[in-house]
Every structure is written in structure tokens, then in C-alpha cells.
Structure 1
Amino acid sequence: MVNVLSGITVIDITQNVAGPFCSQLLGDLGATVIKIERPVHGDDTRHWHPPLWGEESSTFLALNRNKKSVCVDLNDPKGQQIIHELCKKADIFIHSLKPGSEESRNLDYETLKEINPSLIYASISAFGDKGKMKHKPGYDPLIQAYSGIMSLTGHEGEDPVRVGVSIVDMATGMWCLIGILSALHERNKTGKGSKVSSSLLETGIAWVTLQMSTYLASGKLPRKWGTGMSTTVPYQAFKTKGGQWAIIAAGNNRLFKNLCTALQMPELVEDPRFETNADRVRHRDELRKLIEERTVRYELDELVDLMEKHSVPCCPINTLDRVLNDEQVNALEIIKKIEGFRVKDFRIIDLPFRINDERGQLQSLPPLLGEHTEEVLASLNMTEDELEQLKSASVVG
């Protein structure tokens, strides 16, 4: 991919998942990302293990390619001055500090705007930068609970279930990226920087858009539907021989007829209980039972092939080992093995889009803690003696 953000410099003082995912995306698009970490400890995710990949946290490795690691103590005024100097020449500044704590560190929007009026200033928080909860910390499962996502996930009558991926964290990184790119576009027209705010809670609320609309329309709280949907049937997982599962999505009358033909159940098409989608929704439990009595006769791959032959949308519920070796996934070349890295058999999940049929460019692999401190500080015309004094005072590392 042409490095669309080549020449753009990012100062990134985020940690954990949402912010680092955002800055990694910027790096994948060609930006130079300077990741500021605490001396000695670094990003919290460096300590999120097991599992280790080689001798490093797999979580950190997944979220921090295309970055330079610089250790600076943001609680020390001298460390704050270093960030100010870096921001003078930067294009984007991203932080995930709790609202208010950026001001105590002289890293608030007004301070950095005065230093560099063209700076794009982006913040990621848990509950947002307004309201009585703005100072509260938050993580993905808390926001899945608070936003209502967890009330919609799992099976009716069972314990609460978290969505199995960090959907709120990573999506917040994406929303922040969209805001940053929008602000960059505006800067190209006006020359002025902007303040971009994003939060895990706003992401969680955005993800319940459809269910909230359903509630507003009906006045009834949505149920948990497991693998299914409230509005379409059959549109869920069905068991196959050996206990494996496949998703079948027959979302209209034509597809339902195709499904019945494939399973040799033509009588269901004429059954008044299943004549329309609305009928099928009302009688979902009876229909599911009848269909599954047939699907359990087939091996998983056999059922998927049968559905494909009859043009019925269907796919297996894959485990990650199947995903890794899947022919279609590998055809897209989104999972890439990296040779010569310090971690054996290292692989990355590349950008999930292409421009002119090319993905992002791997400029550098995840850095060691403080790997680029001297290199970056040297760009500020700092002498060796000054650097040693800062090191001895534990301001940098």
C-alpha cells in the first residue's frame, strides 16, 4: 500500500487495548508512531500473560507494531517538557488518561494547542469526558455490561455472557481513528488542529443501535437469542453429527424453501406455521427442533456443502485453529507470517482492508521497552550528557 499517512508523526501515550490499536492502525497506514511508555514498567499489556509468545506478552505483540518505544516519566515536569518538545513537530497526539489527569500533567488540549495550533489532539476514555462518571476507570467487560451489550448476549435464563472478543476496546480504537482522519482532512482545508474525543461507553451505545431501536419501537426489552435473531427465523446455529455446529441463515421465503428442499422436508413449506417469516418467528422453537432433527444426521462439512449446493447461506462455527488453516482466510492473505523476528513463528493480523489491492506496510515489528528512547530524544538535539542526567533521575529509560 502507498503509505497514505507518510510524513505524519503521532505521539501516543495510550496503553492497554483501545489506544494502542488506534495508533497501530495509524502506523499501518504509514505514520511514524512514537509510543511513550513508563520507565521500567512500560505499557500494562507487556505484563498481560500467560500466554507468552517467546518471552513476551502476546497481547502487547498484537497491538504495537510500527511504533518506536520511548520511556518517559509523565509525572515529572522534565518528562512533560519532553512531550511538549515532541508535540511541536508532531501531527497527532493520542492519550487514554482519565479525564482531568491530563491537565495535572500539563498535557491537556489547551496547553498542547498553544504549543502547536495544528496538532490533532485525540483522547480515549472509559465513560467519556462529561458527566459524573467521567473520572471512573473502565475496561471492555465493564462497558459491555454498562452499555447493555451483556444483557443481549447469551441464552435466555442463563448467566450473563461477555462477547468473547474485545469488541468495545478495539472498536473504540477504530472510532478514534475515524475521528483523527476526519480532523486531518479538516486540517488540510483550514490548517488548524482539532480535539477528537472518544470513549468506550459511546462505542458500546453505538453497538446496541438496532436493539435500542427495537426497544423504542415496541416498548419491550429485547431477549437474549443465543446465536439467533429476534426478527428472522431460521437464522441461528444448528447442531451437526459429532456435536459440531453450523450457522444457517435462511432470511427470506426463497431461502427457507431452498433449505427445506436441501433437507428433504418439503412439507415445512406448506405448513401454515412457517408460511411467512413472521409465522416462523412466532413458531421458532418448533421449527428449530424440526430442522435440527435433520442437521444432526450430517457431518459438519457435509452439511455446509449441502447448503451451498442449494444456495442457502451457511458456515461452520470455526475454532481458531480452523480459521488459521482456512483456504478462504489464507486466500485473503490477512494473516502473515513474519520471518527473522525475535519471536519464532511470529504472525500478524494485517489491516482488514486494501487500497489498490494492497494492505498496510510493515515498517517495524513490536518494540522492546525503551528501544528507541535515545534515537527519538536525539532528534530533539539533546546532548549525551543531558540524556544521561535524565536517565540517572529516572525521567527517561
Structure 2
Amino acid sequence: MDEASPTGALSGFRVLELGSLIAGPYAGRLLGDMGADVIKIEAPDRPDPLRTWGQAEQDGHRFFWTVHARNKRCITLDLRVPRGREVFLDLVERSDVVVENFRPGTLERWGLGYDVLSQRNPGIVLARVSGYGQTGPLAGRAGYASVAEAVSGLRHLNGYPDQPPPRIALSLGDSLAGMFAVQGVLAALLARTASGRGQVVDVALNEACLAVQESTIPDYDRGGIVRGPSGTRLEGIAPSNLYAASDGSWVVIAANQDTVFARLCAVMGQPELADDPRFADHRARGRNQDELDELIAKWVSGQDSSTLVDRLTEVGVVAGPVNTVAEVVTDPQLLAREMIVEHYDERFGAPVRGPGVVPKLSATPGSVRSAGAPTPGAHNAQVYGDLLGRDVAELDRLHADGVI
């Protein structure tokens, strides 16, 4: 791969990524997938902890890194010292976007607030991801995805009534914030085409978690309803649930639309249920959700899961198995859509499979062009030499002084 000349919709745009762990690096990954030249900056003495995250490990190498560091060039730079800050501003002059997920005020303490960045480059877009945003009474408080999911009300909606609300086994709040950050960056770049000026994209973890909660606020505001966890289903949406097949596998059947429900009733051999007053329309099925789930569960329990899904699909009933990752990586639809792709991991010395690129663009598709650099600063000579014109002697001095 020619990492300096990627292809894709964002080819020609340069991103400086200052973030660590999930939210900032995820935003950088998404921009890199679409062709941006993403330069990941790590402190010389404190590399991104993401290098040590993940469950799979071989010879001290964790493979989470290959996902969120892909399509990036990695350099080291100490922004806490004046010489490091000056080098950074030289990079800002030649870039379009800066992504950071420090606690609010950190860049300002280093003398690198948006006012300083925009003086050096009026078109720079600064994407800032934090726990509670850059303003407000809690702005200075540290934030993590797990807490953001809780304080936003998202965690309260998960699990079963009268049980502790569990988390999904991912840093969901970080990923949501990263996606909203990218949305903001793209909007800011589009606005820049008219104004010539960049702006700040301010994303809070708790707000990203709140933004996906559909009707919870109007349900409370106009109905006094405090939505809560509903286990494997949504209250009032039926049938749309998990059902256990005869082989012990779980199958999701989503047939809450009237026409789809009628098809389900027919394949169950009980077409009369579609006209039964208890189930004849959406509202009726919602009122009698428990009874309807019991009828479907009894029928599903006598079916093999694979055969059942095929039968339902053939007649136009939306259904699918609950797959583990072992099934996901062999799923023919995902493979056909290039959603299971290889990253060549230099440190591992072999390809490592990971998730593909979303969304698919017809004319300027994104791509996975490289896995993450094996060591911090692997691209120092390339970036500082080719982009900034620093010679070898100067780079040696900066390295000896701990600046890079």
C-alpha cells in the first residue's frame, strides 16, 4: 500500500488523530477507511493503551490494534513541550482535521486550543470527543463509555425488569460518539467549501448515547412513561422476539407488520390467528404480546433452527439465527459484501481478519489498506521528512531530546 496516497471519497484530506483508546481512534479509523490520510500521534513515552487491549494475544501482541489503527500512519510527538507543539502546528498547517478525545481544557493548557489552531490554519476542523462536552457544569469531568451509557439513560433500557441493567460486551458509547464525530467532521468539511473556514465539532459520549434513544423523551414528556428494559423484546411490538428451536439455537422472528404476521400464521398452520381479534392488528398484538409469544414459542420449539429460518424466509417472514462470531466470519452474505477482510499485521507477520468498511460507496469505495503500525513512531521519518521537510539530523535531535 502507498499509505501517503490512499484512494476513496476522502482521498486528499489529511487527519491528525490525537485520541487514545476507543472514541477518537474509531473516528480516525472511519475517516481512514474512506481514504483520508490519517496520521496518528502518540506521546513518545505513552503510546495508545489500545495497543494492549483485546482478548486475543500472541507474543504480547493484541489484535484489537489491527482494527482501530488500520489505514493510519503512526508518529510520536510530545505536545507537552514547546518544540513538540511547534511541530504539531506545522502539521496542522498541512492538514484538514484534528481529532482528539482528551478531557476538555487539555489542548488549551498546552496552548493548542482551537483559537491557536485556526490562526495557523483557518480551514482546520477540530473534532473533540469528551464525556460531557466542551461546555456545561460537567464539562471538566472525566468520562468513559460505561458511565455515559448509564447517565444518558441508555443502560436503563437494557436487560430485564427488576434486574441490574447489564452492558453490552463492547464500548458502545465510544463507538456511537466516534460515529457522530465523523458525521460532524463531514458536515464541517462540506460547510468549509462555502465559507473557507473550519469549526469545532463537539461530541459528548453521554449525548451520543442519548441521541439513539428513539421516543423515550416524548414518551415521558407527553405520556409520563418511563421506558424500561423489556428483555428480549420491545413492549407493544409483536411478534418480535427470540424463540428457542428444537436444536437449542435461538431464532429471532420479526413479524409485527400485519402482512408479515399473516404469512407467519400461514406457515405455522394457523392462518386463523391473523383474523383473531386478539392479534388482528398492531395494537391488539401489543396488548396480547405474552399470549402470542407463547403460541409462537410452542411452534418454534418443534422446528430445527436452520430449516425454520429457511422456511420463514421463503414465505417472506423476517427471521434469522442468533450467530456467534464463529458463524459471522463464515456468513456468505457478509463474505460477498467484503465485510470480513484481511489486515496484514506486520508485527504478527500474517493476515488477521477484521470487519470490513461501512458504508459501501459505488464510485469512491473505502478500503482496508493496512493494519496498524507495529510500533509507535513507525512513520516518523516518512511524515516528518516527506511532509515537513525535516532532515535526518534534525529528526535525530528531536528524538534524542524526547520530542518525537
TM superposition score normalised by structure 2: 0.92
CA contact (8 A) 2:345 2:371 kept: no
User: C-alpha displacement at 1:24, in angstroms?
Assistant: 1.4
Q: Paired residue for 1:394? A: 402
Alignment partner of 1:377 is 2:377: no
Distance in 1 (CA, whole Å) between partners of 2:288 and 2:249 is: 25
Instruction: Provide structure 2 residue ranges, at least 5 long, that are not aligned to the other structure.
Output: 1-5
CA contact (8 A) 1:350 1:359 kept: no
Shift of 1:242: 2.6
Q: Is the 8 Å Cα contact of residues 35 and 68 (structure 1) preserved in structure 2? A: yes
Q: 2:371 aligns with which of 365, 369, 381?
A: 365
Cα distance in 2 between the residues matched to 1:201 and 1:223: 18
CA–CA distance in structure 2, aligned partners of residues 2 and 367 of structure 1: 19
**Distance in 2 of aligned mates of 1:382 and 1:122:** 27
Secondary structure of 1:348's counterpart equals strand
Shift of 1:269: 3.3
Take 1:278 and 1:372, find their aligned partners in 2: how far apart are those partners?
Answer: 60
CA distance in 2, matches of 1:67, 1:360: 14
Checking the alignment, whether the CA contact within 8 Å between 2:66 and 2:345 is kept in structure 1 is no
Query: Per the alignment, do residues 73 and 340 of structure 1 end up closer, same or farther by CA in structure 2, a change over 3 Å counting?
Result: closer
Compare 69-78 and 345-354 and name the one that shifted more: 345-354
Change (3 A) 1:301 1:38: same
Rounded to whole Å, the distance in 2 between the matches of 1:380 and 1:358 is 29
**1:345 has 2:336 as partner:** no
Question: What letter matches 1:381 in structure 2?
Answer: G
- 1:188-232 deviation digits (Å, cap 9, x = unpaired): 122212221112111011011322232223211113112211231
Partner Cα separation in structure 2 for residue 308 and residue 75 of structure 1: 59
CA distance in 2, matches of 1:126, 1:336: 32
Residues 334 and 222 of structure 1, relative CA distance in 2, 3 Å threshold = same
- Are the aligned partners of 2:343 and 2:369 in contact in 1 as well (CA < 8 Å)? no
- After superposition, the Cα gap between the structure-2 partners of 1:357 and 1:377, relative to the gap in structure 1 and judged at 3 Å, is closer
- Taking the aligned partners of 2:147 and 2:58, their CA distance within structure 1 comes to 27
- After superposition, where does 1:280-295 map in structure 2 within 5 Å? 280-295=285-300
Distance change >3 Å, CA 170–CA 189, structure 1 → 2: same
Gap runs ≥5 in structure 1: none
- Post-superposition shift, 1:234? 0.7
Instruction: Give matches, 1:220-235, under 5 Å.
Output: 220-235=225-240
Classify 1:54/1:277 alpha carbon distance in 2 versus 1 (closer, same or farther; 3 Å): farther
Letter in 1 for 2:396: E
User: Is the Cα contact below 8 Å between 1:29 and 1:360 reproduced in 2?
Assistant: yes
Deviation per residue, 1:221-248 (Å, 9 max, x gap): 1131122112311111111113211111
CA positional deviation for 1:162: 1.1
2:90 is aligned, of 85, 88, 101, to 85
Whether 2:270 is the aligned partner of 1:262: answer no
Please list, as runs of the form range in 1=range in 2, the aligned pairs for 1:306-325 lying within 5 A after superposition: 306-325=311-330
| SS in structure 2 of the partner of residue 325 of structure 1 | coil
Percent of aligned pairs sharing the same letter:
30
Amino acid at match of 2:295: L
Match of 2:3 in 1: none
Any idea what SS the aligned residue of 1:243 has?
Answer: coil
Alpha-carbon distance, 1:2 to partner: 5.1
The alpha carbon displacement at 1:81 in A equals 1.5
8 Å CA contact 1:263–1:294 kept in 2: the answer is yes
Paired residue for 1:128?
133
CA RMSD after TM alignment? 2.0
SS class of match (1:241): coil
How big is each residue's C-alpha offset from its partner over 1:303-361, in whole Å with a ceiling of 9 and x where there is no partner? 11121232211111111111111111111112112458443331232221222266313
1:63 Cα deviation after fit: 0.4
CA distance in 2, matches of 1:377, 1:123: 25
Would you say the 8 A contact 1:150–1:163 is kept in 2?
no
> Which amino acid counterpart does residue 262 of structure 1 have in structure 2?
V
Q: Distance in 2 between matches of 1:153 and 1:207?
A: 13
Q: Does 7-16 or 337-346 show the bigger shift?
A: 337-346
Cα distance in 2 for residues equivalent to 1:362 and 1:388: 32
Alpha-carbon distance, 1:180 to partner: 1.0
2:103 maps to amino acid: K
